[in-house]
Amino acid sequence: MTKNFPSKKPFILISNDDGIEAPGIKHLWNALHENYDVAIVAPHKEKSGSSLATTMLKPLHIFKVNWEKDTPAWKVTGTPTDSIKLALSVLLKRKPDLVVSGINKGSNAGGNVLFSGTVGCAIESSFRNIPAIAFSCYDLIDPAYDVAEKYVPYIVDYFFKHPTALGTLVNVTFPKKDLPIKGFKLARQGLGRWFETPSERQHPEGHYYYWLGGRLEDSPEKKKDSDTHLLNDGYITAVPIKAIELTDHDYFENKKNDFEKYFQNIS
């Protein structure tokens, strides 16, 4: 591949849900800082599974972080969404041209988009009409960050040159590290997701408590254009996700009159 980046440096905000000390965010910075102006705002510790959770009942604190190459960086004592909100409303003097989130340990493909704080960063950015890309590695244990880092610049470059519509984010997932990379696929969201496998433990005082672990189950459907299917074939997947409007238009169009007629005599 030949690098072909924009001549004027766009501004990228980097965030994640694994926390500012996670290795994934360092790999994301490694992939981007030489070709773009970047800033980092991320949770002060791991906030996986936060989705769009927002802190409402306690104060948030922001701390400056010393980062390589004098990159502006801060950690926030809140959720991934809090980090984006504070970055855009308090910390940054320049609106980002793009928000990138990750690189997450563990897949955010399929139904995991609804749970992921990494994707939550991208959704929050999309709400504000800022293009966003969420990156994740399939493997939860020892992800292949170095492989992801290699390809991130090309993916970012593509979506700068071929932007999505406002309100649409891109969810990128890298396949298992033991699979050779076959290529890239623009995919649709599959149906696979994490399923709970709670581990029961007994407290010394006698009561029981649980670690709410889980396992990744592949999509029950086998459509070849879904991210969950393509990842198992060794492809890097990119799913455009429309975040702003979630209406089921088929149901709306088919049932609107029936619904209103059913309730017309109820006062």
Q: Which DSSP string corresponds to 63-132?
A: EE---GGG--EEEESS-HHHHHHHIIIII-SS--SEEEEEEEES---GGGGGT-HHHHHHHHHHHTT--E
pLDDT of residue 95: 95
* 145-177 per-position pLDDT tens digit: 999 999 999 999 999 999 999 999 999 999 999
Terminal Cα-to-Cα distance of the chain (whole angstroms): 66
Structure tokens belonging to residue 51: 């989705």
- Confidence band (pLDDT; 50, 70, 90) for 220? low
Residues 25-39 have a mean pLDDT of 96
- Confidence band (pLDDT; 50, 70, 90) for 48? confident
- Confidence band (pLDDT; 50, 70, 90) for 5? very low
Residues 98-122 have a mean pLDDT of 92
pTM recorded for the entire structure? 0.88
